[in-house]
Amino acid sequence: MNVLKANTESANERLEKIRRRLDTLEDALFDGRSARDIVDEIIARVKRNGDATLVELTKKLDGAALTPGTIRVTQDELDDAAEKVSKSFLATAARIAKNIEKFHLKRRRKEYELSKTPDVTLGVKRVPLMSAGIYIPAATAPLVSSVMMNVVPAKVAGVDRIAVATPPDRDGTVNRHILAVCGMLGVGEVYKLGGAQAVAALAYGTETVQKVDFIAGPGSVFVQIAKKAVYGQVGIDMIAGPSEILVLADGTADPRYIAADLLAQAEHDPLAAAMLFTDSEKVAAAVPGEIEAQLAKLKRAGIAKRSLDNYGAIVVFETMDDAIGAANEIASEHVEVQTADPEAVLAQLRSAGAVFLGGMTCEAVGDYYAGPSHTLPTGRTARFFSGLSTDTFTRSMSVLSYSEKALRRASKKIIAMGKVEKLDAHINSVRVRLNDE
C-alpha cells in the first residue's frame, strides 16, 4: 500500500473510488449485464416460477442439487448439527448470545406518553414486527456469529416469526455450526438459499418459502442490491454489503495494531475497503511494512491482498481534525480510534456504523463478543442508516385519544384547515360528533 498525502490528486482519486464503491459494484458487468439487471431478472423469475427457480439457481450458483422438498432444513438436520458440534463451541456461542441479549435488552425502547390530561392523551406504542427473514452469508466464510448478531436482537424485540436463509454447500447441506446456533436460539425455520434468490423468496414467498415482512442481515453485493429492489414489498434493515474499516490514528498508535485491523477486514472479501487516516507521517510510513509481514502469515492472504489493492488507502492529513472530517464524509462501517484521546475524537464523529475506542479495542471484539450487533451500514450509508438493533425489528404507532370537550375546543381550527384544503368530509366528521350543522 502506498502512503498518500491528503488533497493530492492521487489521494483524491483513491478516496473517490472508495466513495463510489457500491455504485461501481452495482454497475459492474457479468456476462455483459450489470449486477442490477441480473438481480432484477432473478427476482422476476422467483416471483414467476417459485421453487423451480430456487432449485435451478441453487444448482447453477452454489453447485447444490436441491428439490423443493429439501429447500427447508428439517428438524433432523438441526438436531444432527447440534450433536456434531463440540460442547465447547456451544458454550462459547451461548456466552456470546448472552452478551448480545444483555446489550439489546438495555437498549430496547420503551413505550411512552407525550402528554396526558383528562381530555387528551397522546403517546407512542412500540410493537415488534410479525415476521423477519435473516440472511446469513456462508460462501467463502460461514458467518456463524452473524446468526447471533441478527437473531438475538430480533428475539429481544419480540418478533413472532424468524426465518433464516443461508447458502448450502455443494453437497446440499448447511454449515453445521450455523445450524447448531439456529437450534440453540430456537429458530426452526431455515432455508438452504443464498444470493438474490434468497431475498426474493423471503420477500414474495414460494410454494415452500413463507414470505416475511422484513429482511435483515449482511451479504454480497447481489444480496444488498436485491434488498434494495424488494424494499417496499418488505422492509429492510440497511445496506450491509462488503465490509469496511477506517482507522483514525495519531502518533501514539501502534502500527502493528493498525496493520492487523486493516487485514482483519480485508480478508473478508476482495471488495472490502480498509483505510488509515492519520496526522502522523511516521505511523503511516510504518504500516505498509507491518501489513506485508502479517500478510505472509494469513491463510486468506490472497483475498486480503486483492482487497487492499482494490480499496485500501493510507492517507496523511495535516491535522487530526482534517482526518476526522474526511472520516465523516467517507462514513465507514467500522471506525477505530487509536489516538491519545479517543473520547475527544468520538465527540466529533458523525458518520460511522460502529466506533471502537482505544488501541486494545480491535474490531474483532465487536464482530464476535461484546454485544452490539456487527451488522452495520456500508457504502457510505452510515450517513443515514444505523446499525442493527431491537429498533430494527420494531415499529412505532402514534396513539391519540380526545374527549368530546377536547374535540369541541379544537373544532374551529380543524374545520378551518378542512375548508382551506376543500375536504368537506373531514369537516363533516367533526360536525357530526358535535351536532354542529
Taking residues 137-145, what's their average pLDDT?
86
For a pLDDT cut of 90, what percent of the chain falls above it? 89
Cell of 385: 442508516
Q: What is the pLDDT of residue 169?
A: 95
Picking from 286, 291, 167, the residue whose alpha carbon sits closest to that of residue 217 is: 167
Tell me: do 221 and 259 sit in the same domain. Answer: no
Tell me: do 410 and 332 sit in the same domain. Answer: no
Picking from 346, 61, 356, 298, the residue whose alpha carbon sits closest to that of residue 192 is: 61
Tell me: do 70 and 198 sit in the same domain. Answer: yes
Q: Grid cell 414467498 — which residue?
A: 205
Structure confidence by residue, pLDDT tens digits, 173-182: 999 999 999 9
Domain tally, the chain: 3
Picking from 13, 25, 2, 8, the residue whose alpha carbon sits closest to that of residue 379 is: 25
Residue 389 belongs to a domain: no
Residue 256 corresponds to which amino acid? Answer: R
Q: What is the pLDDT of residue 382?
A: 95
Least confident residue range of 113-122, 224-233, 255-264, 404-413: 113-122
Q: What is the pLDDT of residue 339?
A: 97
Cell of 388: 442493527
Residue 145 belongs to a domain: yes
* pLDDT of 112 over the 80 cut: no
- Helix spans in 7-34 (H): 9-19, 21-27
In whole angstroms, what is the distance from residue 437 CA to residue 433 CA? Answer: 10
Tell me: do 368 and 287 sit in the same domain. Answer: yes
Tell me: do 313 and 227 sit in the same domain. Answer: no
The CATH number for 333's domain is 3.40.50.1980
Tell me: do 67 and 122 sit in the same domain. Answer: yes
Tell me: do 343 and 293 sit in the same domain. Answer: yes
Residue 307 belongs to a domain: yes
Decide which of 436 and 7 is more confident.
7
Task: Name the active-site residue from 26, 244, 290, 333.
Answer: 333
Residue 136 belongs to a domain: yes
Tell me: do 101 and 216 sit in the same domain. Answer: yes
Tell me: do 222 and 250 sit in the same domain. Answer: no
Structure confidence by residue, pLDDT tens digits, 54-72: 999 999 999 999 999 999 9
Of 208, 237, 266, the domain-final residue: 237
Tell me: do 182 and 273 sit in the same domain. Answer: no
Identify how many contiguous H helices and E strands the chain contains and give both numbers: 18, 16
Cell of 286: 510504518
Tell me: do 64 and 17 sit in the same domain. Answer: no
Q: What is the pLDDT of residue 30?
A: 83
In whole angstroms, what is the distance from residue 353 CA to residue 232 CA? Answer: 23
3-state class percentages of the chain: helix first, strand second, coil last, to nearest 5: 50, 20, 30
* pLDDT of 161 over the 80 cut: yes
Least confident residue range of 147-156, 238-247, 277-286, 317-326: 238-247
Structure confidence by residue, pLDDT tens digits, 75-100: 999 999 999 999 999 999 999 999 99
Cell of 428: 363533516
Residue 349 belongs to a domain: yes
In whole angstroms, what is the distance from residue 187 CA to residue 170 CA? Answer: 23
Q: Please provide the average confidence, as pLDDT, over all residues in the chain.
A: 94
83 assigned to active site: no
Structure confidence by residue, pLDDT tens digits, 190-202: 999 999 999 999 9
Taking residues 249-261, what's their average pLDDT?
97
Picking from 388, 353, 367, the residue whose alpha carbon sits closest to that of residue 145 is: 367
Q: What is the pLDDT of residue 437?
A: 62
Residue 398 belongs to a domain: no
Residue 81 belongs to a domain: yes
* pLDDT of 342 over the 90 cut: yes
Residue 415 and residue 131 in contact, taking contact as beta carbons nearer than 8 Å? no
Picking from 76, 110, 95, 159, the residue whose alpha carbon sits closest to that of residue 393 is: 159
In whole angstroms, what is the distance from residue 377 CA to residue 20 CA? Answer: 15
Residue 390 belongs to a domain: no
What confidence category does residue 363 fall into, taking pLDDT thresholds of 50, 70 and 90? very high
Helix (H, G, I), strand (E, B) or coil at 274: strand
Taking residues 306-317, what's their average pLDDT?
96
Task: Name the active-site residue from 104, 177, 334, 374.
Answer: 334
Beta bridge partners of 400: 122
333 assigned to active site: yes
Tell me: do 378 and 310 sit in the same domain. Answer: yes
- Which domain range does residue 147 map to? 51-237
For a pLDDT cut of 70, what percent of the chain falls above it? 99
Q: What is the pLDDT of residue 97?
A: 97
Cell of 174: 448447511
Q: What is the pLDDT of residue 31?
A: 78
